[in-house]
């Protein structure tokens, strides 16, 4: 239909956001003009497609069938606008395909319930008090009065109820794939030339990232080894980067920590792109470490203790003393830290705890001696019984005391079946 805008909506109720790329791929196979409408919603411009796929019924059937083959129970609505097409797909009920005739968007939407607009509770309650329960009743309200009472949001909802569309589809294009590969038919057996090869691939990837004003927050590689074995690895910089020298240093250190077991015949390097905004540093803020130097330092450390041993310590939801895990290190803006107006007492855990000799008086610790610490206890609190994880093979139970020595040192003592330990010192 020349000169008439026709929009198809591919709609999957209660869609998993992870399935959105599959819906977009289905839409792109049928139309070059596609818009991502959010999880489970994709719009297609049907202009000129009848010569390729036939009439609207045939196009809708193809879309619905393609979605079903991908495992999605999709509905298809076709109308003259996004809003009407989406409403047609959602209001179809048990009907998988709903087509609104050209020029009938407003009349078709008239009896549809307001619930199709996805109103919030407050807006739905207000319109219900006004006695507005269908899209047609909302469309017939005076626009000026609606704007005075509901502002721009009211006019937007009224345009949707009338089937009036926004400007043309905001075209969606697949995100660029940041991946580079190289073949090594002769086989690379030493780490140094393999590191040089990855550094060259990283330089090409970083150049592409900079052209798109992006950075990489992770690198992944896949090596095809002699004998058709596969060696895979990944590494993450301390902060997103697009500097080829820093990326090369990180990759070399990661390879040294976990080298391939045979000659490499082909390698593929991938970068995970992220967009990082430029932030003007504050004058009262100390200079932050160079991402390049920090990444290189962390890469060298990971080669010594593995990546799982580097990062920030996060407490676990457990009663076991000192239960924690390491999370990846990230640079955090100083603005994200909320300063405290009152001083806080910090506990510095001793890892591993130090064996201690404790003298008791009336059942309570009176003197303590451990490596680097000894003295008379002048005050104390405890014991507290700490136990848990009885359902595992390594349950724990211990008694704890917080004590003050005669020199002012505050520390925590613990006793279990193995004896006394110095667990922590308060700063």
Q: Which one-letter DSSP state was computed for residue 1? A: -
- Is 173 or 188 the better-scoring residue by pLDDT? 188
Which range among 260-274, 275-289, 342-356 shows the weakest confidence by mean pLDDT? 275-289
pLDDT at residue 333 tops 50: no
User: Does residue 223 share a domain with residue 354?
Assistant: no
User: Does residue 370 share a domain with residue 324?
Assistant: no
User: Which tens digits make up the pLDDT trace of 88-119?
Assistant: 888 766 678 888 888 787 777 788 888 777 78
* SS3 at position 337: coil
pLDDT value at residue 268: 93
Work out the pLDDT band at 29, boundaries 50, 70, 90.
confident
Does some domain include residue 167?
no
Mean pLDDT of the chain: 82
Does some domain include residue 2?
no
pLDDT at residue 377 tops 70: yes
pLDDT at residue 309 tops 80: no
User: Does residue 293 share a domain with residue 267?
Assistant: yes
Domain's final residue, options 317, 336, 355: 336
User: Does residue 110 share a domain with residue 218?
Assistant: no
Is-above-0.75 flag for pTM?
no
pLDDT value at residue 267: 92
User: Does residue 267 share a domain with residue 412?
Assistant: no
User: Does residue 223 share a domain with residue 127?
Assistant: no
Domain's final residue, options 108, 129, 161: 161
User: Does residue 184 share a domain with residue 311?
Assistant: yes
- Is 323 or 194 the better-scoring residue by pLDDT? 194
Does some domain include residue 341?
no
Distance CA 93, CA 97 (A): 10
pLDDT at residue 344 tops 90: no
Q: Report phi then psi at 27, rounded to 5.
A: -65, -40
Q: Where are the beta strands (DSSP E) in 124-229?
A: 179-188, 215-225
- Is 150 or 278 the better-scoring residue by pLDDT? 150
Domain that holds residue 69: 7-161
pLDDT value at residue 329: 60
Which range among 198-202, 332-336, 340-344, 358-362 shows the weakest confidence by mean pLDDT? 332-336
- Is 290 or 162 the better-scoring residue by pLDDT? 162
User: Does residue 132 share a domain with residue 60?
Assistant: yes
pLDDT value at residue 339: 46
Count helices and strands (H / E) in the chain: 11, 17
Task: Work out how many domains the chain is built from and give that number.
Answer: 3
Residues 6+ apart with CB under 8 A from 309: 301, 302, 326
What the block records as the tokens of 293 is 């130097």
Does some domain include residue 54?
yes
pLDDT value at residue 282: 65
């Amino acid at each position: 239909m020349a000169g008439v805008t026709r929009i198809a909506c591919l709609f999957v109720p209660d869609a998993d956001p992870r399935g959105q790329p599959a819906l977009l791929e289905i839409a792109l196979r049928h139309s070059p003009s596609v818009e991502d409408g959010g999880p489970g919603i994709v719009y297609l411009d049907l202009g000129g497609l009848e010569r390729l796929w036939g009439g609207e019924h045939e196009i809708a059937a193809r879309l619905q069938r393609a979605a079903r083959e991908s495992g999605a129970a999709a509905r298809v609505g076709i109308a003259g606008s996004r809003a009407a097409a989406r409403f047609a797909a959602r209001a179809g009920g048990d009907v998988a395909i709903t087509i609104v005739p050209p020029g009938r968007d407003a009349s078709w939407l008239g009896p549809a319930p307001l619930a199709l607009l996805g109103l919030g509770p407050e807006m739905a309650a207000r319109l219900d008090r006004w006695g507005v329960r269908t899209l047609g009743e909302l469309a017939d309200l005076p626009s000026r009065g609606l704007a005075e009472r509901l502002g721009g949001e009211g006019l937007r909802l009224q345009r949707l109820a009338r089937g009036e569309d926004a400007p043309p589809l905001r075209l969606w294009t697949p995100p660029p794939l940041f991946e580079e590969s190289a073949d090594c038919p002769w086989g690379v057996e030493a780490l140094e030339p393999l590191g040089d090869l990855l550094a060259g691939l990283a330089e090409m990837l970083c150049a592409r990232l900079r052209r798109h004003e992006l950075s990489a927050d992770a690198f992944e590689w896949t090596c095809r080894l002699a004998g058709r074995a596969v060696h895979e690895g990944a590494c993450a910089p301390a902060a997103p980067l697009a500097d080829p020298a820093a990326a090369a240093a990180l990759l070399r250190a990661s390879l040294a920590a976990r080298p391939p077991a045979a000659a490499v015949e082909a390698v593929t390097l991938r970068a995970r792109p992220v967009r990082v905004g430029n932030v003007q540093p504050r004058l009262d803020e100390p200079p932050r470490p160079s991402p390049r130097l920090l990444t290189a330092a962390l890469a060298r450390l990971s080669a010594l203790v593995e990546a799982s041993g580097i990062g920030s310590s996060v407490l676990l939801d457990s009663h076991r003393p000192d239960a924690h895990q390491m999370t990846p290190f990230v640079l955090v803006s100083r603005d994200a830290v909320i300063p405290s107006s009152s001083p806080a007492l910090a506990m510095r855990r001793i890892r591993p705890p130090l064996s201690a000799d404790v003298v008791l008086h009336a059942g309570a610790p009176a003197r303590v001696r451990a490596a680097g610490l000894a003295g008379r206890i002048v005050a104390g609190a405890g014991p507290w019984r700490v136990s848990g994880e009885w359902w595992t093979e390594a349950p724990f139970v211990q008694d704890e005391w917080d004590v003050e020595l005669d020199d002012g040192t505050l520390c925590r003592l613990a006793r279990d079946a193995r004896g006394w330990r110095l667990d922590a010192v308060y700063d």
